[in-house]
Amino acid sequence: SRFETCWPALMMDSHGVIIIFNPELPSHLKEIEMWYSYFVQQQSLLDSQCLLVAHHKPGSAGDTENLSLAYPLNKLKLIHSNLEEDPEDVRMEFIKYFRSIITLINESREREEMSIIS
């Protein structure tokens, strides 16, 4: 992709990765494996720091709700977003995700402070 040269700057000091994709496009299902490998695994982030969002366009086929992803993507938190039907559910999932990231950041900061003190 023509943006690959920007990726290192995007990833610098990142604490979380949200991958949004269209589950109806087979090409997207291949690409998310690459994004996961590059943005999560190679940055040594935890799987809990990654959120997958399968975004369903208005009027799209509903059967992709039963999306089964292959390993290692099936270990990640996956939410389905359909802003016509359940914007509130999606909002709550994002809030939960951000809270978990903030907790991780605070815990690692406390560990750093303790290691400096001791």
Q: What is the pTM of this model?
A: 0.81
Q: For residue range 7-49, list pLDDT tens digits in order.
A: 787 777 889 999 999 998 888 888 999 999 999 999 889 999 9
Residue with tokens 């750093």: 112
Q: What pLDDT shows up at residue 65?
A: 62
* AA letter at 117: I
**Rounded-to-integer distance, Cα 116 and Cα 118, Å:** 6
Q: What phi, psi does 76 have (nearest 5°)?
A: -90, 155
| Tens digit of each residue's pLDDT (9 = 90 or more) over 58-106 | 776 655 567 888 899 999 999 998 877 778 888 999 999 999 999 999 9
Distance CA 57, CA 9 (A): 30
**Whole-number pLDDT of residue 59:** 72
Alpha carbons 103 and 18: distance in angstroms, whole number = 17
Instruction: Determine the Cα–Cα distance for residues 98 and 104; give it in Å rounded to an integer.
Output: 10
Side-chain-side CA neighbours of residue 91 (13 Å): 6
Pairwise CA distance, residues 87 & 93, whole Å: 10
